Structure 1
């Protein structure tokens, strides 16, 4: 069964509205838990399980005995009811005398009281390796019976059902946990607390429901603890269920510190012909960046031997790092690991998908290897990752039932949902997922949230997209999601909260959830205006024909006119009535809105080649970000990277120095509009399109700040953009005094590869780079010394784009370096 019906959900919302009512009157079937600030209910729990026997070694460290899941659930109810009313409900253990005299009983967990009333609380955990329905026993009940309410769930094995039931119970009393920690919590204050009549059996639509908070933005131990506690409140899972699997786990089968010196043939070769054994600042070699030679039969045999020893408890190898009691996880290193040994290349089937990774996929080799290992250990799970160079399902490989696949579609579009027929990117993600599920039912998704992986932390569209995608994933039969999250709530906003609702129940009413959040968090008057601002951002992103996962490619969407237009929502909210707490939350939101305005102003200044102003706007973004961090640390971390606005401020300062500062002076600007022609059949070089005399009157016009994908209509109804060669021609005027002096032509970006001619003379080439390789690698600069003349000069740029985003971007300029003193 699904989550509560909409009628029950609406009743819970009405309870929340009772915050403003001094005294609530209970209906006949409702239960009064607190009456006029005094307890009116007792919480009853089963006895705690017996403590484990003391260790045989009296000197051994004895870990503290953890509280049972049902006691933690009972204490959560006790804590939040006291926060609401000031009344502390007593907790009594079944079998002990109840001297409280309370008329209402809250039975938490698997109590005898619930059983005596015929309430069946979900229970049981039976892990059968290979079973398609494994890990699907979770669920909980909340049921009122006279003066009794049963709040219990499956707490066996890894399940947290009773804890989820407790927080669902509290939600129906009006409590909300929109964000981690106190800042994101809303607890209504009232003297009388009434729980409505309820009859609920609820089971999750996905067994696996996780969003991590690691990696890119560091978090403190306290923040991680708050985040973990919050995850339980919104019904995320705390267990991996299947064995863990991450980038580079494969090489732990044969740790290079144990094998490389004696068996270098166990490891893959790089393009340079050298073994690709990863290095580490504290270790000699590092497994997580090492690739094995999967074509070597001894690699398989030695891996089996090490795994057998690890499961038997007799091995000393570092392979133990990837082994769990129920199996092990393996995956090649991050990125597109490829073995260039001749024998390995001979095994490769050369399935090439340039729009995903720019060398042939290795799915057949890796998943063939994983399948063989799975057959050696039929009673264990073998967890794998379908990512980057092995994202595509393998051809000709049968996966045993004990293979689990974690599908990580890093290249997917984050601007459109899976049902958008005009987004080929997202459609292919769904098609690939469907193929994986034909090979094994044990598939979960490792997606990315935020979906803009590198950039300036501008608003995303995950709430709108996931409301659609969750239903598609459920229909396909996916096991769930283990998403890569980040401490970046200024960007993800309520996405994690909404994901929690949808991962439990894909049919949850997202519109109602959003209304509840905005009116509760900001007030009934201000909330709709704040929502209108976020909805406008989502709508603008969804309307584009671009398909990408980086925010610097949506600068044609988040423009100064757009941010100026939606500022009206901010100002309307500012004038609205709010409580002091709501006003503080609004102030944080206003900083997020100002940050987006600064982002747009930064991009506009760069488009105008006003790098000093662009640097100022980048620092404005940083100032807003630091204020947000001071308000609530989960908004962002104070991290410095070249792709963040702090890095862009440095870049703009350097460009300003080249154009009007200590490093040089600008001689001429690359015009914003240039002549442009596609070269579908690679005729341009042979046809000498670079000559000044070439007739370009029939060429179209292109903006040199935006990619051609941002400007052109799609090639077909699926949203494919042009891939191939494209030529730009423009004129720059050079003053006579600059002729014969050292000059350089700087181009803000070329995707993926570029060639330049000046007045018909070849000036240089910049090699191929992936479009999301980073700003620094996309820039291009050539020496123009001796190639210009006084007056107009024809510059021709040939661009090669073999897949995805392409073209010139971010304009550029001709400049004269200042002579060294």
Structure 2
């Protein structure tokens, strides 16, 4: 079979392979060990791990038991030196000059050295040795600093496996060297555990003639697997042990080496604790008249104009530099930070004209750069970082050059680069950031999260190998590496499918290309089809290539789903019942819920409600927010239901809809028993703070476009977004709105003009909705009172909040 021939080719042509067979001594001959594995008499834990790895796989390959010792056995003709020792020093093979877990593979007449930096990580107190250790750490931290700051070391214990005696933050240079040698013999690790490994069978293993030094193209190579940090690798959790070892075998490297322990939202360390909330409410953003003390899980959201906050942030970062020797510290704001603080100090600091991705850029990056500038005076050899994320993803316009000690971490979804325009925009964004960044320290934060349950891509096999290869090749020399969130289900968690059923290939290729971005991805794929799927190689190649070209439509197109199941069935038949069948079965199990999605798509919107927009005279519409004119008489009222249950909403909302000229008109009445405490998020058009208060949203899918979002506050303030690709807030619905607040309700009159689509940033593009070619829509309400949020919608219940497009109701003009 072809996969057997591939093994022979690998062994014959491997990059670390041998000289002529007649001349080369053997490591294993006729299944018997002709060598020993020699390590230092005081090895680091990763050196020992590397030696055990070599021993294990030589046994799996040949059956030979190659002993591990601290002195070479004179009775054996060959010696394999793993890690630095007095023996490697004598041979003149050093572990110096091998940063980022780089390595050397060097041979002599009767020896082979597999060496890299194996420095052990040594945590500095105070750090949390377990989740129960939090109180002690904070007490010691407070006593040491005199402050009530948070610390990123509260979760440090999660990076250590007691069972493996291994920190994720240990250097693993020699381990990488061992695995490079084993790859040369034909070993592969495509998926965790024995199910995912490829081990050739060989009775003879020759000593190679080799002198290689291998450095990665990307220093930071961090795949963060949900629920599978090293602390989960215990004797009672063999799957998590396999996962941890797979991460090592992929050649990954923990981001903390370059970027410290605080990667994402570092400013929360200043303000997240209750003592700070009580003593300094001015540190927190003012949204809708309330300080954001409980934002995003209780950590709060900062006011970035607060001088006290800035000064404390600077002191905190200096302390982290000095005490924990951190190379870099994040000063990015809290997660979900999408609204401008509404205090007087922050007035006018937003840039809503730049759209969703830039509306807070100057505001956030001004703060970040001020912190960095101060820290550069005291610690010019250390770095400050911030993510470029959501509303501050674009570079600021008011800062020409950043402080020399600033690094940025650009967040995006690589898998979305199937769209050439999206791919090009991010390429331009990288260059735009680098122009302003004297340090040239740019990193990527990405998301391989398509396998998350109860999300839009659940059960869809998502492969994007060529996007990965093209992107990493373009980032080589520009990016210092990546931190990627990868979904891995908690075990046991009730799920019968494996989240890596498809995503393991994306992870494997990403990891391999981190070391050499110029590799031929098609060659890597051909090898994968051969080795991983054997007799089903052609069927799985067809399946994966079809998925790669169509996954972006698989959650909305029945034809794509049917084709996926058809191709997978052929692969199942070809694979048989052995290990190849088990590998295909990973996908069979993973895709089970895709049957449910198909049923939902087939059913379509037939059970969704329908609304009729009766025709009215434009001259009769008086926009004052009060629905008392003759224009609204005779129009049927439609009511909103509780979003989650579909029951009648506790605070009723009704609307009427009409077609007037070339526009859609809506009259909306929100009953309210607590008008005195009506939550007003914003009184300004285009201000994302609108969602900090009560809102009504109109979602419209026209014949040519899916879909538009128009949010309106009780003051009549409007925020428009085109949701066809993300959140495009540069689009303007040009809606005319009037609002009225009475004693027991607030109401809106809305006129939304329809355009011909000539200007994609202006107006709703569509034709008059008819029975044959209707629109689909929803009218929704958000009501906020303190910590309570009530959501209701015309078409409810939904499975995706307001934005469940399949639940949109039908709208037509009779």
Give the TM-score band, short-chain normalised: 0.5 to 0.7
Indicate the residue corresponding to 1:671 in structure 2. Answer: none
C-alpha distance in 2 between matches for 1:702 and 1:355:
25
C-alpha distance in 1 between matches for 2:806 and 2:48:
59
2:224, 2:484 within 8 Å by CA — same for their partners in 1?
A: yes
After superposition, residues 93-492 of structure 1 pair within 5 angstroms as 93=70, 96=71, 98-99=72-73, 101-114=75-88, 116-117=90-91, 120-124=93-97, 136=99, 138-156=101-119, 159-194=171-206, 196-214=208-226, 220-221=232-233, 222=237, 223-241=239-257, 242-270=259-287, 272-278=288-294, 286-287=298-299, 290-308=300-318, 325-346=326-347, 348-350=349-351, 352-356=353-357, 362-378=363-379, 379-397=381-399, 398-409=401-412, 412=413, 414-416=415-417, 423-438=420-435, 439=437, 440-450=439-449, 454-455=455-456, 456-475=458-477, 477-487=478-488, 488-492=499-503
Task: Spell out, residue by residue over 1:668-697, the C-alpha distance to the aligned partner (whole angstroms, 9 max, x if none).
Answer: xxxxxxxxxxxxxxx985645679xxxxxx
Output the TM-score relative to the length of structure 2.
0.64
Task: Spell out, residue by residue over 1:509-566, the C-alpha distance to the aligned partner (whole angstroms, 9 max, x if none).
Answer: 211221222221221x31121121011110224xxxxxxxxx6x6534xx33334345
C-alpha distance in 2 between matches for 1:219 and 1:728:
58
1:510 aligns with 2:510: no
2:447, 2:484 within 8 Å by CA — same for their partners in 1?
A: yes
Cα distance change on mapping 1:463 and 1:778 into 2, 3 Å: farther
1:245, 1:385 within 8 Å by CA — same for their partners in 2?
A: no
Deviation at 1:414, TM superposition (A): 2.6
1:172, 1:195 within 8 Å by CA — same for their partners in 2?
A: no
2:295, 2:301 within 8 Å by CA — same for their partners in 1?
A: no
Task: Spell out, residue by residue over 1:184-225, the C-alpha distance to the aligned partner (whole angstroms, 9 max, x if none).
Answer: 222233433345544422110000001101269999554554
Cα distance change on mapping 1:143 and 1:578 into 2, 3 Å: farther
Indicate the residue corresponding to 2:555 in structure 1. Answer: 555
SS in 1 for 2:335: coil
Deviation at 1:448, TM superposition (A): 0.7
Cα distance change on mapping 1:238 and 1:261 into 2, 3 Å: closer
Cα distance change on mapping 1:307 and 1:581 into 2, 3 Å: closer
Deviation at 1:277, TM superposition (A): 1.0
Indicate the residue corresponding to 1:636 in structure 2. Answer: none
Deviation at 1:345, TM superposition (A): 2.8
1:39 aligns with 2:33: yes
C-alpha distance in 1 between matches for 2:281 and 2:569:
65
Count of aligned positions: 603
Deviation at 1:465, TM superposition (A): 0.7
Task: Spell out, residue by residue over 1:429-474, the C-alpha distance to the aligned partner (whole angstroms, 9 max, x if none).
Answer: 2222222223132211101113587321312233221110000111
Cα distance change on mapping 1:575 and 1:425 into 2, 3 Å: closer
Cα distance change on mapping 1:725 and 1:778 into 2, 3 Å: farther
SS in 1 for 2:267: helix
Cα distance change on mapping 1:72 and 1:427 into 2, 3 Å: same
Indicate the residue corresponding to 2:672 in structure 1. Answer: none
Indicate the residue corresponding to 2:505 in structure 1. Answer: 494
Cα distance change on mapping 1:350 and 1:597 into 2, 3 Å: same
1:291, 1:339 within 8 Å by CA — same for their partners in 2?
A: no
Indicate the residue corresponding to 1:48 in structure 2. Answer: 42
Indicate the residue corresponding to 1:81 in structure 2. Answer: 58
SS in 2 for 1:237: coil
C-alpha distance in 2 between matches for 1:327 and 1:653:
43
Indicate the residue corresponding to 2:633 in structure 1. Answer: none
C-alpha distance in 1 between matches for 2:706 and 2:314:
55
C-alpha distance in 2 between matches for 1:479 and 1:231:
19
Cα distance change on mapping 1:195 and 1:179 into 2, 3 Å: farther
Indicate the residue corresponding to 2:69 in structure 1. Answer: 92
1:570, 1:590 within 8 Å by CA — same for their partners in 2?
A: yes
Task: Spell out, residue by residue over 1:303-333, the C-alpha distance to the aligned partner (whole angstroms, 9 max, x if none).
Answer: 34455556666xxxxxxxxx65445322211
C-alpha distance in 2 between matches for 1:471 and 1:520:
25
C-alpha distance in 2 between matches for 1:706 and 1:195:
63
SS in 2 for 1:259: helix
C-alpha distance in 2 between matches for 1:312 and 1:387:
28
C-alpha distance in 2 between matches for 1:294 and 1:721:
34
Task: Spell out, residue by residue over 1:349-380, the C-alpha distance to the aligned partner (whole angstroms, 9 max, x if none).
Answer: 51544353777763333323332343354243
C-alpha distance in 2 between matches for 1:778 and 1:432:
38
Task: Spell out, residue by residue over 1:161-195, the C-alpha distance to the aligned partner (whole angstroms, 9 max, x if none).
Answer: 21100111111222221112233222233433345
User: Where does the alignment leave 5 or more consecutive residues of structure 2 unmatched?
Assistant: 121-169, 489-498, 610-641, 649-657, 667-700, 709-721, 726-730, 732-757, 784-789, 797-801
After superposition, residues 659-738 of structure 1 pair within 5 angstroms as 687=662, 702=703, 724-727=763-766, 729-730=768-769
Cα distance change on mapping 1:145 and 1:598 into 2, 3 Å: farther
Output the TM-score relative to the length of structure 1.
0.64
1:460, 1:538 within 8 Å by CA — same for their partners in 2?
A: yes
Cα distance change on mapping 1:780 and 1:726 into 2, 3 Å: farther
C-alpha distance in 2 between matches for 1:259 and 1:347:
27
1:29, 1:196 within 8 Å by CA — same for their partners in 2?
A: no
C-alpha distance in 1 between matches for 2:643 and 2:231:
29
Cα distance change on mapping 1:172 and 1:766 into 2, 3 Å: same
Cα distance change on mapping 1:370 and 1:39 into 2, 3 Å: same
